[in-house]
Chain A
Amino acid sequence: MTLARVARFLGRRVLHSLVVLLGVLVVVFALVHLVPGDPVRIALGTRYTEEAYTALRAASGLDRPLAAQFFSYLGGAVTGDLGVSFRTGQPVAVTLLERLPATVSLAVVGLLVALLVALPAGIWSGLHEGRLSDAIVRVTSQAGVSVPDFWLGQLLILGVAVGLGLLPTSGYAALTEDPAHWARHVVLPGLTVGLVAAAIMTRYIRTAVLDVAHAGYVRTARSKGLPAAVVTRRHIVRNALIPILTITGIQLATILGGVVVVEVVFAWPGLGRLTYDAVASRDYALVQGAVLLVAALFLLVNLVVDVLYSLADPRIRLS
């Protein structure tokens, strides 16, 4: 009974995500046709000749009717074919898949850093409202929110990499090829991404804990004479986890969607930098593919958050 409900809930969410993804696809497709300038002309640049133009236009299928183009793009996207980069001639899907591990591994490290800092700080602060420790956490996280990530990144490079010489200033190796090399290089960008996210998350987690700490059922828990640790763990933190999941999902999706500046500062070959370069060089096929991928990642994260919600909250699971 309950399993069937969870399955139905999941099915609905997946369907919902697919509809959103289709919408994104339409927008992304329209992008190329709505922006001023002819992508073929731009792609050719100084190599422009009438013949080359017609040839590339036909090769990219841009001479066909709009509807036909859309459905072939849709068909391609469904089968994993996102077209060919105007600039490099490489399939877009291949380029994106090359960059994906860098972005995902940085995002996971960043999120872990953020959670390691924000969970204890936010929960502690929320449980000790008005105390000195709460004030310290609040001021620190406020300062953290105000710090630009490129500045923090450069500060870390100057201090840890250049000053102490402990870690490399920039660079990347795939986790699967050289884990040790990857690990040495991921620390600083991971810290940069994580600390900025931690500052934001700490404030949300503190508020979530505060809200729950004043709830009627927490008073009930105290009135049962339960040990303080049990009240905190079972009644406050478990209920606060629901809003905490929300903000964690949003943060993860934001990091996945591109931490362009951090990737540039640390020469990290992720999706953010790729997208930035593609926009700069008007490589529309690549822009389309990157936006679509980021949207898909965003939806995937949301789907996971929804599933976790239904596990954490019986009101969602059972209604």
Chain B
Amino acid sequence: MSARRVAPVLAVDDLRVAIGPTPVVRGVSFAVEPGQTLGIVGESGSGKTMTVLAATGLLDLPGAVVHGSSVLGAPLVGEAGGASTGATAGAGSGGTAGAGAGDGTTQLVGASARTLRRVHGDRIGFVFQDPSTSLNPILTLGRQISESLEAHRGLSGRKARDRAFDLLEAVGIPEPASRLDAYPHQLSGGQRQRVMIAVALACDPALLVADEPTTALDVTTQAQIVELVRELQHRLGTAVVWISHDLGLIGQVADEVTVLRGGEQVERRPVLDLVDRPEHPYTRELLAARPLLGQHRPAPAPASAEPLLTVEGLDVRFAVASPAGRTHVHALDDVSFVLRRGHTLGVVGESGSGKSTIANVLTGLVRPQGGRADLAGVDVLQQRGKALKALRRRIAMVFQDPFSSLNTRSTVGTSVSEPLVVHGLAGGRGGARARVAELLRLVDLPAAWADRYPHELSGGQRQRVSIARALALEPELVILDESTASLDVSIQARVLELLARLQAELGLTYLFIAHDLAVVERVSHDVLVLQRGRVVEHRPAADLFADPREDYTRALLAAIPPVRPRAAADRPA
């Protein structure tokens, strides 16, 4: 990082966005210089995406009004047009023309659709969160890259194809020549995001906007994408605005960080200052809530507990169509483990490793080709009829997405009492109400909330309701499948505390499936590492994290953003 002030690529000053009368972004200012990365961090609803889309003129929301200034390519700090303009965002809004002051700068707030089209893809490239939806499924990769070259550089045919080839090669796509004619569905998630980066960089933009570009990816893939962007940025001198909810990740990519909360800018500092000397209480709260390796351990489990769940040689295969005809994917390959009463077994692995398949087998959604699962003397896989129903009472499940796992048309009370009704345990209206109240208190929600609907609750509150529902039948085993993965870190931390308390109070046994190793470390007594359906390592959590034996486990651990920002290593303390 140079101490010399150079002209920022993008200078945003007092940016405000309102939807109708509701302000959603309340005065955000930042600047990013060539070759630098600005991290924008905040929890869901903090307005981080909205801020950047409004600043770059890509906001497409009916009724959204943008005020303030956002200048692209200003020659000197503080000199470029800071005139406050207002314009309605949205398709074909045709606001006032961009303030091309003749010095190469462009005012993006209120710029005309024509000005913005010239800027987008040419001087600003965008990478969005979900690579499975951000690429057009019916166009070849080559076409998706070449169309911005065509629009901005007038390149077509052979020349555009050559450039697309170079770009695919630059972002590390193997066999780029054949991939030019491939379609997005033929690539993995990580490769799609690489293509998306190639699309964004096609015209050598001065600014790259990356909105949660690694959130949908596995942790090892995330590490590769981070390295790729850093390397390209280093080579091309691109300025980057990187949006993320993950402070650990932001620490790895950003030189400067802006913290947003509820549309307000809480703090804006160089990354090391922010992490080492956070000024705002909210920043301190965020820093404290982030799951870090080696920081938390679960309460010790009961020492002499008998086995509750014994799984032996579980084998699941799925038939899939492939170019070579039908083949089988080994979703679970000879998986065995023992889970003791009152313990938590963490199951970790990347997407496609078979983590969720274990949950699906235990809950009867998937029938395995082989193997046994024994729940305190009862064969889980062989029960039918009444015995199966009785078994279902003993195993409960909490899903990942608290927004889709609750019926939007049922009250909280109805959802929580539904298992009681299904199993004929409601004990009349009064009995069910009393039990629901008790369950809600158990998960720290007011009993009166039984009459609320899911849309009145936040994500964390919904997940508490899901937990209360899971506990309704007093299960012995609770399967938590990525149950905290969709939650903001501060809420995740509280839900994890709740789970720990419930385990201590009720003697629950958890099968905790997650991709986040820091979270797994925090709750698990034992850890099972899965890779492509096979158990790679299965040991007590403390041993495994202290001394991973297998390369795959080590790779997973190494891919986690370290506690210290990368800047700490670059700059001696």
Contact = CB atoms under 8 A, between A and B. Distances in A.
Interface string A216-231: 1101111111111010
Interface stretch (B75-83, B128-136, B420-428): B128-136
B185 A225 contact: no
A216 B134 contact: yes
A319 interface: yes
Contacts of A312: 138
A314 B135 CA distance: 13
A319 B321 contact: yes
Interface stretch (A70-78, A103-111, A166-174, A232-240): A232-240
Nearest to B123: A225
Count chain B CB atoms within 10 A of each CB in A225, A227, A312, A314 and give the residue with the most: A225
Contact of B116 (A219, A220, A225, A234): A225
Nearest to A319: B321
A305 to B, nearest CB: 16
B213 to A, nearest CB: 13
Contact of B113 (A228, A315, A318): A228
B370 interface: no
Contacts of A223: 58, 120-121, 124-126, 128, 200
Contacts of B139: 234-235
Centre residue among B58, B118, B128, B138 by max chain A CB count within 10 A:
B138
A250 B120 CA distance: 40
B199 interface: yes
Contacts, number: 92
B117 A319 contact: no
B352 interface: no
A319 B321 CA distance: 7
B119 A217 contact: no
Contacts of A225: 116-122, 148, 151-152
A227 B321 contact: no
B58 A219 contact: yes
A230 B144 CA distance: 12
Interface residues of A, number: 28
B199 A315 contact: no
Given A225-B148, A226-B151, A230-B151, A313 B121 contact: no
Interface in B308-347: 321, 323
Nearest to A235: B136
Interface in B92-118: 92, 113, 116-118
Interface string B186-219: 1000000000100110100000000000000000
Contacts of A222: 58, 60, 120
Contact of B138 (A5, A227, A239): A239
Contacts of B267: none
Contact of B137 (A219, A221, A224, A315): A315
Contact of A219 (B121, B125, B128, B200): B128
Given A219-B128, A314-B185, A315-B183, A224 B151 contact: yes
B418 interface: no
A314 B128 contact: no
A220 B138 contact: no
Nearest to B63: A130
A312 B139 CA distance: 10
Interface in B234-268: none
Q: Which of A217, A224, A228, A319 has most B Cβ within 10 Å? A: A224
Contact of B133 (A215, A226, A230): A215
Interface string B30-61: 00000000000000000000000000001010
A197 B134 CA distance: 34
B236 to A, nearest CB: 18
A227 B117 contact: yes
B147 interface: yes
Contacts of A221: 136, 147
Given A220-B136, A313-B137, A226 B186 contact: no
B62 interface: yes
A122 B147 CA distance: 27
Given A219-B58, A225-B148, A314 B137 contact: yes
Nearest to B183: A314
Contacts of A235: 136, 139
Given A217-B137, A239-B136, A227 B151 contact: yes
B111 to A, nearest CB: 12
Contacts of A5: 323
A11 to B, nearest CB: 14
In the complex, which of the residues B136, B151, B185 has the most CB atoms of chain A within 10 Å of its own CB atom? Answer: B136
A216 B133 contact: yes
A71 B414 CA distance: 57
Contacts of A242: 138
A318 B186 contact: yes
Contacts of B135: 217, 220
A217 B118 CA distance: 19
A318 B60 CA distance: 34
Contact of B148 (A216, A219, A224): A224
A10 B50 CA distance: 46
Interface of A: 1, 5, 130, 215-217, 219-228, 230, 234-235, 238-239, 242, 312-315, 318-319
7 contacts: A220-B135, A220-B196, A221-B147, A228-B117, A314-B185, A315-B183, A319-B185
Given A220-B135, A313-B138, 7 more contacts: A220-B134, A220-B136, A223-B128, A224-B148, A225-B121, A226-B121, A313-B137
**Complex A-B, nearest 8 residue pairs according to Cβ-Cβ distance, in ascending order:** A225-B120, A216-B133, A225-B121, A224-B121, A223-B126, A224-B148, A217-B136, A216-B134
Interface of B: 58, 60, 62, 91-92, 113, 116-122, 124-126, 128, 130, 133-139, 147-148, 151-152, 183, 185-186, 196, 199-200, 202, 321, 323
